[in-house]
Amino acid sequence: MTISVGDKLPDVKLVKATADGPEQVQSADFFAGRKVALFSVPGAFTPTCSAKHLPGFVEKADELKAQGIDEIACTAVNDAFVMGAWKSASDADPVTMLADGNGDFAEAVGLTMDGSGFGMGKRGQRWSMVVDDGVVQQLNVEQGGNFEVSSAEYMLNHM
C-alpha cells in the first residue's frame, strides 16, 4: 500500500553518505523531532535527476529552510558510495544523501517502479514529501516518467 499524507513513515535502515563514509541510520531516528524535505529519484547520475531534480533542491535550500524545513534529504535505490559521489559531483552540499541500496525504504512506502527495461531493476519512483516528526505532511508523486510535481519549487508552492 502506498503511503499517504498523515501516515507515519515506516522504520527501516538507510545508509547516510557522509564525508567519513557510510553511516547506517534508522529512518525513525533520522526523521524524529524535525521537519524534513525528502525527495526520491530513480537513480543517482541519471539525466532528469542530475539536470533538474537535485539541482532544484540545492537552489531552493534557503527558501525551504525559511519555510521551517530543518533538513533536505534525497533517497535513491543506490549504494552510499554512489550517493556520496553524486553529491560531490553535483555540488549538492545542502542535501543529505540517504542510500536505499536494497530498496527497503521504497518498498516500505509503496513507491517502487520497475526499471528493468532500462537495466536498472526495481527502483524508487520520483516523488517528494514534507515529513514532520516522522509523519507525512505533503506528498507529491510523479506519474510515469514525468517531472512536474516532485520539484522543490512545487513543494514550496504548496507549503
**Residue whose entry in the numeric block shows the C-alpha cell 498523515:** 6
| Catalytic residue selected from 3, 17, 49, 83 | 49
CB 50 within 8 A of CB 86: yes
Whole-number Å distance between alpha carbons of 111 and 57: 20
Q: How many CA atoms lie within 13 A of 93 on its CB side?
A: 1
- Of the candidates 73, 63, 58, 40, the one whose C-alpha atom is nearest the C-alpha of residue 141 is 40
Residue 49 catalytic? yes
Q: Residue 51: which residues within 8 A CB-CB, separation 6 or more?
A: none
Active site residues: 49
